[in-house]
Structures are given as C-alpha cells and as structure tokens.
Structure 1
Amino acid sequence: MKRILFFLLASAMLLPGAAQRRKSAKETLHISRPAFAASYTFSLIPHDVRVVGDSTTVSFRIMNFDCYTLASSCALVTDKGERLPVRSGKLFTRAMQGSVVRVVGVQQLKFDHLYYTVVNYDPIQLLDSVVLSFPALPKGTRSFDFTEGYPDTLDAKKAVQAWDVFGIRLDGKTYASSLPATTVTADRSTLPPFTPRWGKARLHLHLLGECLPDKLDAGGVSFFHWGADKMGYRTECVTDVSADRHTATYTFDACEPFTCQARFLNYASFIPVLAPGTDLHVYVDVNAVGRHVQDLGADVHYLHMQGETAAMSEALTKWLERIQKNLFVERLTQLRGQDSTGLTVEKMRASHYALLQEWRQQLADDTTLLPQQREFLNLYAEDCYVNAMERTRQLVSYFARGTSYALDADAIYDRDCAATDTLPDPHFAELSLFHDDLRTLYVYPIATDWYAYLKHNNVHEGAAYEWARQRQLVADAKKQLDEMHCLTTEQLHALSPLYVDSLRTENEQLRALLDRTERKMEEQVQILPELREGQTALQAIVEQNKGKLLVIDFWATWCGPCRMGMKAMVPLKEELAGRDDVEFIYVTNQTSPHRDWVDTIDKHEGKHYRLTNEQWENLGAAAEGIPEYRIFDKDGNEVECIIGYSESLPDKVRTALQKAGMK
C-alpha cells in the first residue's frame, strides 16, 4: 500500500498541471488535493490546481467507472458566477503489476469521445487521470465548480450522470463536519427478543453538507441484497424522495430482520440492519465522502445512524471486513500451506474454532463497543462459525480440486473424510446462537444451514429449530420452483403462513410461464452434443450452427451488464429479423436459475444454451468474463470478440457482422 501511495504522489508530479513551471510564467496559485463539497458521481476527483500565467490547470484522478465521455462544454464556474471554458486536456494511462502502479502513456484528450476505463486487458492498463487547461482564475476566487455544462433542456438523467464537482476550495482548508454531534446509543443493553411478523422496515437517508447542490439525488441508492431469495422480506422497496432531493425514505415489507449493502454517491456504503416495524435514520456528510474518496479510501467518518437498529448497523458496518464467512477459507489456505500432511476434517474444524476464539477475544478487547453491539457481533461470528462447520463437504472439495464448485464434492468427501467426520460439534454447548426468543435473527442467518447443524447436534425442538425447519422447507420449495417444477397442494399446506403467500404466487406465475413458453422452449432451447476428444464446447456450438453468421452472447441472468447488452441489441435484431443467414445465440450456465433463464427465453428470440458447469469450464478461452460477444463467419471462423457492455455494442456487432461477410 505504501508503494501505491508513494507512486500516486510521485506520478502527480508528472502531470502537466504539476510540472515544473516555466521560468517565463509566474505561478500564482498551487493547491494539492483541494477539498470539495460534492459530486454527482465521485468519479473525477480533483487532485491538483495550479494557476500559472494566464492558465489554470486542474488535474483529476479517474476513479472506477466503465467508460468516460468529457463534453466539450466543460468549464470552471467561480463562486462569483464567472465561467471559464476548457481549452484542452490530456489523458494519462497507468499499468498495474501487483502492488506497483506506473504511468505508461499520455494522449491528447478528445472531447465528446467515449473512453473505456480498461484500456488494455493483457497486460492490464487503466485510465489514471485527466488534466484540463482553462483560462486563469480571477483574483479573489475562493472556490469554483467543475461542470460539463449540459443545458437545462438536456435529459435530466444525463445531467445527473455528468462528472460535475462542486465547491472546490482554494484556501487549503476542509469543510466542517455537518453530522449530528451525538453518538449512537442502544436502547437496550442486550438484543431485544424478536417474533416474526410482517411489517414495514424503513430506511431514511439524509444527505448533509456545505455547498451541497440542490440536484444531488438522495434517491440514488443501490442495494446489494445478500440471500435475495430469502422469503423474510421483499427486495423491492418503495422510494419517497423529498422535494430538495436531500432525503429519501426506502420502505421494505419484511417479516424478519435483514441486512443488505447500501451504496450511494458511488463510493460511500454502509450495512443497515432493518426490521419490521422499525425506522433507521442514516445521516451522510457528503463533504466527508469526498475526503474518503480523495484519500483513497481513508477512514473518514461520514456516517451517523439513529434508530432501534442503529447500534447493530454501525457495528456491522465497522466490523464486516474483519468477521466474514470466507475468512475461514483463507485461514485454512494458510494452514494447508504449513501442513504437508494435508487437511483432515478434524484439522479443519479445529481451525474454525480457533478463529472463532480469536474473534471473541478481539470483540472483548474493543472498548468502543456497546454491550448490544458486542452481543450482536459475537452472535454474527458464531453464525459464521456454524456456516463453516456445515460447509465441510465444499471445503474438502475446494482443497482437493481447487474450486468450491466441483461437481463431485460429495464423492470426494465420502472417499477422503466421511470416516473421520465426527458430529456432534464438541463446542455446540458454548454457542449462544440458538436463543428461543429468536433474537439471533438480527444477524440474518440466511446463508447458514442451521437446520442441518441442529440435527447433527441432536436438537429437534424449540423455536430456533422450528424456524430453521421452516427455512429449509422454503429453500427446498424455492429450489423446486427454480428448476421449473410446480409445488403440490400438500407442499404449500406444510409451509408457515409467513411464507406461503409468496410461494403460492410464485407457483401460479410458474404455471402461467410454462403454459406460455412450452412451444417456444421446444423451438429455441438447444442441447450441446457430446464432445469429441479435444473439442471445446464453443467449437461444438459453432459446428452445430455452421453455415450462418453467428453472434454468440455469453451471459448470466444475475449479470446486470449482460441484461443491458441484451436490451441494447434489440433494435439491431429487429433490423436483421428478415434475414435467415444471421443467428443470435445465447449461452449461459447453471449459475443462472432455470426459471429466470426460461423467462429470458420468453423475451429474447434466438437459440439458447444452458450449459452444465462442467461444459462451461470446457468452453476454452471463451467466457472468461461476461458479458462477452463472439462473432463467427459462415465457415465457423471467429472474426471478432467483444468483452463487456457499452452503449456502442450494437454498432460494434454490426461492424463485426459486416467484416464476417454480411451484405
């Protein structure tokens, strides 16, 4: 990390705006890493401001984003309303090799031109920074905005997506914190009991900060839902944004507590714990978010929470990176490297328990935690421990095959470990996880197989057991629906009233989908033939469809850019609909739930393959990342490979088809 920071500071000296000034021009101002008030996207971060002679040079660090287009209408707008139009710009590229970063190229910036953040994949090269030149800032200027200058008549969505940066200060000072002065407090010294019930769970987001532009949208929050198939809440929410765009309320229907990752302003995030019948208020200092991004993720306090679940939310946001389920695998990887005799089940479980004990000690030593927070995090750590204990088969497969998705995980486990896998867990009695008052549901144990663990430890009754049993019934029902098999009346009657309505609705929707798509499935779904020795799955697909121009789309139902690409391609497909020499082929694998895949077939004409995981691994060099588009001529020769989605995708595919012989 030190090498990266050193390089970033050193490379800034290479930028034209930071170059040694000419003797003939006098430098009247130089501000390094100026404070700024806000940004719509936080994707261009001001790094350096210099006024030399009649020119102002502003360098911006380019943060993670798929692509960039800087408008020729770029300008600086001073605090007195004076507008300074852009003169020219330069674009810098960096290469990354491990932790070493270096500038490898510079080019003249073309305004209104689309640039991709990833310049090259092998070796990896990324856009690093852009340096823009403007007329000199007038004397007495205290701050300025950088704006792309879109007119008010332009599409409002495009204006909000602009790279505007507001309130860039020239006095070397930072903005004062606008967060409430009070600290989070817990109403109870321990977690409250919980009774599953449907109700409204509300998250209120308040954006605060000096010089905050009126159009900054508090509604622009994305939620990453963990275990989105959980029946305890609806992932869709109702959003209500205040007139000034600074406050938004997100309302979820839920019958159990749940967590998700809330991301806003592109770079700020937190982990809310939400529960039916509760309100969580989150206050965000937008100025501090800017410092957080500008300092490369430095620990800058930009959040304050209030509400019944605030203490848990702040604790989880703070500790999530330290307590995670995948850390058990990392610890085992280290252990495996130190032990040449191999990992047995006994060693694995001893490692799990040792890590749990370390977490318990760290939580005990953290004097900043409230009692409720410490209890919550201890239960969260125990849930991670139980999850690892019940993943023995997958972990054995991981270390035997190098992948946690090995199709023969059970066979490897039975061969190598079944004889030494002793249950019950000798540490079961130490756990506080299975309270009969269900307070533990606040840790959101959806990814953990409580039901199997409790059975392995001879527990067959109690509120925690009954909840886990119902969750297993729900999981089995969801899996059956995903595999396109409707539920029987008896199965629906066995489900808890909390979950049955949602599953009954899904069941009815599946019946309607099957009735509607039965004939279409027969026409569009393709089966991969048995592969010849040395033949890849991609070669087999091309051979099956030889004689036509092929556009092969590698995708997945859960991939957002993939779905955007499909939607963007619709006009081109309609344009080519009358031709019988062009075939659109869609290839996915078993990570795409069967039902979601069938729903896609219903919406997108073409030939569809759903490969097994083993067939997917045998695609050869194809589909190392998705979305990926490969175009073949009528003889089966590949003429183009397009990686990733962009707005220009249809034009790229059309050009590739013409190259392949389309007239």
Structure 2
Amino acid sequence: MKQLFLSFIVLFCCTIVQAKERVIELPAFDAWSSTSLEVQKVVLNDTATIVYIDAFYRPHNWIKIATGSYLQADGKKYEILSGVGMELDKEIWMPESGTYSFQMIFPPLPENTKTVDFSEGDVEGGFSIWGIHLDGKPASSSLAGKKNPKETPVLETPELKAGIATLKGHIAGYRPEMKLAGSTWTFNPITGNTDENSIKVDAQGNFKLELPLNHISIVGISANFMQAQVYLKPGETTTVEINFPEICRAQSKLQKDKPSLGEKYYFSGGLAALNNEICNGPLRALPVGINSQADYEQMFKDVAAMNIDQYKQYWLNRREKGIKELDKYPEISDAYRKILLMNADMETAQQLMGTYILEYAYRQINNIPRDSAATGFVQPEITAAYYDFIPEFIPNSPVALYCSDLTYIIRSLQYANLSGKPLPKDIKELPDNTADIAKLMGTNEGFLFDLIAAQKLALPIQEFQPLTDDQLAEADKISPVIKNILTDMNNRLKLTIEENKKKSGYVVDRVNTADIPAEELFNAITTPYRGKVVFVDFWATWCGPCRMAMKQTEPVKKDYEGKDVVFLYLAAENSPKGAWEQMIPDIKGEHYRVTGEQWEYWGKKFGIQGVPSYMVVAKDGTPVHFQVGFMGVDKMKEMIDKELDK
C-alpha cells in the first residue's frame, strides 16, 4: 500500500510539471535579420525557456551564437545560459545538407508572455528574430489586405537625359532596434561602372534616395528588408511601401506555407506598374544563367570536356529551355516579357563570349592549379562565324538599357577577339575591334556604338588619366549628354588629384623592388617590420571586392594607432600606375606595386588564386595565416590581436 501511495505521488508530481510546461510548435514571427536561423519550437517551463533552432546555411561554412545573446520580452532581457548541440562563441560547421539543429537555453519567461525577441546584441552581422509569437497567433502586417492597382506596364523607349531619380520607401513593421540598412547598385553602361549608394533608414522606417541618372536605369537593392531590382527614371519620384513581415514569411522555410500577409511591395509614382509586376511576380528571371555555387559546379562538369561548338550549343540550349519557362506564366505583361527575353539573350551572349571558362572548368574538374600547365586541355580555335549570335542577342537600341547585363556586355564586346585571327602570344593590349563589331552588326552606327565609344573615353578617367580637350570633343560627337557625363567625371578627377597631393598617412615603395629577385622580394619588404605584426592585403585597383573590404577595414586601423601593427598593401602592375598612385592616398599603410613576374612568384608560393587575398605575418616574420577573400572585420581583429599579444 505504501509503494502504491509513493507511485501515486510521483505520478501526481510529474503531472504538475507537465501541466506547467508549454510547447509552441513552429511559432510565427514578425521579422528577422537573417534567413539562417529559424525557430522550430519554444518550450517554456518554470526553470527555463528552451528555443529549438534549425540553422540553414551553406555546407562547410560556419555560424556561431555569441555570448550575450538574449531574449527580450516586455522591455526585460533574459541572457542566454547555455546551448545544446552548440557551444557559445564556438563555430558550428554546417554539414553537407546545409541544415543543423540545436537548442538555446534561457531563463524562464513570465507565464503571460505573448511575444519575445531574440538578439545576439551588437555583434557585427548578429542574428535577430523579432516578434516570436508565443500566443499561437500568426504574424501580422499593417499592409495585409492591401492590393496593388491592376495596371498594365508600358515599355517606354529610354532616352539619354540627365536628372535626379528619387526613390522613397517605408518599411512596414519597422522598429528602431532593427537598425536596418542596405545598398544600391546602379549599372552604368556609359562609363562601364557600377555606382554604389547606401540606404539609411530613419527611426520611423523611412528612407529616401536621390540618384543622379542619365536614362531609365535598373537599380539593384541589396538590404535585409529588400532584395530587388527597381527601375527608376531621371526627373521622377518612385515610392515603395515594403511589407517586411510578408517578405520574412515568404523567405522562411518553416513559415512559407502559412497564409500570405499581402503583397511584398506597393509601388506608386514613376514606373510603378512595371516595378509592381517585377518585384511581386513569380518570375524574376528566366533560368538561363548561373544563380548559385551548385549551378557553377554543375556547369563546370557539363562543359569541361566540350569543344567550342559544343560549348556554344550548350548555352543556346539553356537559352531555349529558359525561354520555355515563359509558357508557365501567361499573365506576364508584354512589357515585362520583352525585358525577360532581352535579359535571356544578353546572359547567353555574355556566357558565349566568356570562352575562357572552358579551360577554367577543365582545371576545376581535373584539380589543376592555375599556376600549372593545363595538360590535356585543347585550346579552342574560334572563328569569326562563332560570334554570329551577337546581332541577334545584343540590341543596337536604347531599349537595351532595361537590361543590367548591358554594362558588362559592352566591355566584353571590346575584349573579344571577334576576327577569329590568332593573336600574338606576347600581346599586351588587344587591338580595337570596333570594325569587327560593325561587320557583325551590319552597321557602324547606333546606340550600341555610342556606348562603346563612351566607355573607351571613360576608361582613362577611371585609370586616373584626365581627358584632353580633343578627347572631350570626341565625346561631344557622340552625344551632348555623354559629353557632360565625361566632363563631370574629368573635373572630379582633376580635383581628386589636387586633393591627393595634400594627403598623408601612406608610404610608397620603402624598398626598391625593381632590383630584388622575386624569391627574395617578400622577405625584403617585410624585414623592416620585424617585431611588429603585419597585416598584408594583396589587391588590385580594378577589384571591387578589394575596395569594399578596404572601406570596412579603414576604421579598424584607428584601434591600432601607436601599436606594433603594420598594414601592408601589395598590388601588381596589372593595376594601372596612375590609378594606383591616386587611390593609395586614401588607404593608410605601406604600399608596393610589383612586376607581373614578382606577383606570379607570390601566387605560386602563397597560393594567391584571386584578389583580395590576405596574410598575417608574425613579429618574427613568419606568415601565420593566409586566405583568399575578406574574412570580416571581427576575424581580422581577432587574428591581429592574437599575434600582438604574443
């Protein structure tokens, strides 16, 4: 009887414990900063709050959860206690599946808590999930139920006309603690550049961009609240309401099948109908090009053993297959259909002109390093007939401005050997092929040729060589708008050159590299810094990722002022001397520009497969770390501090 009574007591206690535990499966959430972490369930009891996480990230890359992560409910913070399946501040390496599950343990929340926020705090790139619903209710949006007007877009013929295009935006569901921000990229086929601008969001979730444009332009927006390409027109204002809760729900692997909270974007003003269709529609692009690392790897396998004719047919087949996707979307307007087809054509043309990919793929599949001979690879013989796709796929018309690939197509055209005649092995500069382009197009006039001429005149300016009066007169023959664009660029360059003469904080060629053998050069450059930690940046003036990383690292240098740390920047002679000389005044540190032979030796010795690449050299002169691609500011500081403390 006593044993039966004890069993009853144990069962009664367990029932009480179970009654006090609450489990919320797949709780809805209002917004997040990253698609990498999803809440599978939340378990609440008297002793802890357990958050079950599914992490989704690239295989063989890592994520980590920082010490100091917390839940916040009703203004109170509950800091993380521990983890199950993960250790705080320790890297979690993602398996081949790209999915990993773990738990985060927090103190217990008050019993009546309806929603809770998760945050890693002020960690750079930290994870946040706002408005995790513990009340079982779905996410909500102030824009739910709103509909865009049914308007049929019209494809205007763009004209060259300089002016300011304004983009105004409001983010529904915004909270100041979200600290959302982003960037825009405007593709500029006149200069060959991609112009970048930052997006700053105020406390109410509003932002405003004023972009100088020269024609209807496609503007890429990259932000945690908006990933889209938007058309803007000089002299006009476009306004967008962003349904952030719906965007987050649609991105979620665990929440995407729950009811929609409305459309993602609501455009009004300039080119609104076209932007509403593109940004809210089911088809962003035809599946012709490469959209992921997995696509690249599969493409390498596909083409590695192909000859040039097979390679051409491979991309023509991809184009045809991609175009057939349009049959699935009869609701797409004629205007957007035309843009999709032009983009498919230009993407195909871009890939067909990139015949270098055949050797690159052969090396990748056969694991042949770049600095070794590609034994067994047969260099393709390309005749002029190979390029017969150019007049079909590249419009000689302003309507091509609706395609972002146009900027790069113009450049690719200029560097392609369209004649089919073999080039000398020791050639350093490709001959002007405008006549070959004209032969293919059947004319030497038209919008395409205006852009080719404009980019040729813009190139010296980008290499920090001001144009002469005669060159500016050539620009005037193309178009008054193009002349004004190039004149403005030229004047800004002259001003920059004068301002650079006044700058300090950088040192050039402390060691005379010309007289030092390649195998001794790196040691000769770094020997004067013995006793100091050297952070080495292998870069190039034409490398966009190099410049982006430098913007992030420049503020870090202030933390090491007066300490035994040297920032060393190494470039090769493929960085034009004029451009290099004018860029380095804004890059505080020690600078060297070496010969191609010296750089090639470093490439073989250190494994420099691309720029930017980085190295950390210990106080005794020993390289202790090398990697291709920027590691991020936090990792950079961690590596420098580790060596500095020794």
Shorter-chain TM band:
0.7 to 0.9
Kept in 1: contact 2:152–2:333 (CA 8 A) = no
Whole-Å separation in 2 of the counterparts to 1:240 and 1:312: 25
SS at match of 2:137: coil
Select which of 139, 157, 164 maps to 1:175: 139
The Cα shift of 1:348 comes to 3.2
Whole-Å separation in 2 of the counterparts to 1:69 and 1:588: 36
Query: Hey, what does 1:269 align to over in structure 2?
Result: 227
Kept in 1: contact 2:185–2:196 (CA 8 A) = no
Cα shift readout 1:15-53 (whole Å, capped 9, x = no counterpart): xxxxxx988831531112211223466775433211234
1:223 aligns with 2:181: no
Select which of 49, 63, 75 maps to 2:42: 49
Query: Hey, what does 2:211 align to over in structure 1?
Result: 252
Query: Hey, what does 1:142 align to over in structure 2?
Result: 114
Quickly say closer, same or farther: Cα 1:90–1:331, change in 2 above 3 A: closer
Quickly say closer, same or farther: Cα 1:584–1:53, change in 2 above 3 A: closer
SS at match of 1:446: helix
Structure 2 letter corresponding to 1:303: K
Whole-Å separation in 2 of the counterparts to 1:377 and 1:127: 37
Q: How does 1:200-599 map to 2 (within 5 A)?
A: 200-209=164-173, 212-213=174-175, 215-216=177-178, 220-226=181-187, 230=191, 235-236=196-197, 245-264=204-223, 266=224, 268-295=226-253, 303-307=264-268, 308-313=270-275, 318-320=282-284, 322-323=286-287, 325-326=289-290, 333=300, 335-336=302-303, 342-344=306-308, 346-392=309-355, 394-395=356-357, 397-398=359-360, 416-418=380-382, 420-422=383-385, 425=388, 433-435=395-397, 438-444=398-404, 445-449=406-410, 454-462=437-445, 465=446, 467-495=447-475, 496-498=479-481, 499-509=485-495, 511-512=497-498, 523-524=509-510, 527=513, 540-546=521-527, 548-549=530-531, 551-556=534-539, 558-559=545-546, 560-576=548-564, 584-588=567-571, 595=579, 598-599=582-583
Structure 2 letter corresponding to 1:382: D
The Cα shift of 1:294 comes to 3.6
Q: How does 1:51-70 map to 2 (within 5 A)?
A: 51-61=44-54, 69-70=66-67
Whole-Å separation in 2 of the counterparts to 1:609 and 1:67: 38
Select which of 88, 92, 105 maps to 1:132: 105
Cα shift readout 1:619-640 (whole Å, capped 9, x = no counterpart): 4246888563322344x43356
Whole-Å separation in 1 of the counterparts to 2:110 and 2:455: 63
Whole-Å separation in 2 of the counterparts to 1:514 and 1:53: 64
Whole-Å separation in 2 of the counterparts to 1:431 and 1:648: 45
Kept in 2: contact 1:329–1:395 (CA 8 A) = no
Kept in 1: contact 2:166–2:237 (CA 8 A) = yes
Cα shift readout 1:508-542 (whole Å, capped 9, x = no counterpart): 1464367568997754486477767xx5xxx7412
Quickly say closer, same or farther: Cα 1:132–1:347, change in 2 above 3 A: same
Kept in 2: contact 1:31–1:172 (CA 8 A) = yes
Q: How does 1:630-641 map to 2 (within 5 A)?
A: 630-634=616-620, 636-639=621-624
Normalising by structure 2, report the TM-score.
Answer: 0.73
Query: Hey, what does 2:590 align to over in structure 1?
Result: 606
Kept in 2: contact 1:398–1:405 (CA 8 A) = no
Kept in 2: contact 1:180–1:304 (CA 8 A) = no
Query: Hey, what does 1:85 align to over in structure 2?
Result: 78
Whole-Å separation in 2 of the counterparts to 1:384 and 1:405: 28
Query: Hey, what does 1:5 align to over in structure 2?
Result: none
Cα shift readout 1:283-306 (whole Å, capped 9, x = no counterpart): 322222332444279587761242
Whole-Å separation in 1 of the counterparts to 2:340 and 2:357: 24
Cα shift readout 1:253-307 (whole Å, capped 9, x = no counterpart): 101233243133x364112122223333333222223324442795877612424
SS at match of 1:353: helix
The Cα shift of 1:497 comes to 3.1
Query: Hey, what does 1:97 align to over in structure 2?
Result: none
Whole-Å separation in 1 of the counterparts to 2:115 and 2:158: 51
Whole-Å separation in 2 of the counterparts to 1:51 and 1:253: 53
| Identity level (%) | 14
RMSD, aligned α-carbons: 4.7
The Cα shift of 1:471 comes to 2.2
Quickly say closer, same or farther: Cα 1:23–1:125, change in 2 above 3 A: farther
Kept in 2: contact 1:481–1:510 (CA 8 A) = no
5+ long unaligned stretches in structure 1 = 1-20, 93-105, 110-114, 151-157, 577-581
Select which of 50, 68, 83 maps to 1:71: 68
The Cα shift of 1:608 comes to 2.8
Quickly say closer, same or farther: Cα 1:629–1:172, change in 2 above 3 A: same
| Count of aligned pairs between the two proteins | 574
**Higher alpha-carbon deviation: 324-333 or 179-188:** 324-333
Query: Hey, what does 2:6 align to over in structure 1?
Result: none
SS at match of 1:137: coil
Cα shift readout 1:53-79 (whole Å, capped 9, x = no counterpart): 44332234567797754437x34425x
Kept in 1: contact 2:193–2:407 (CA 8 A) = no
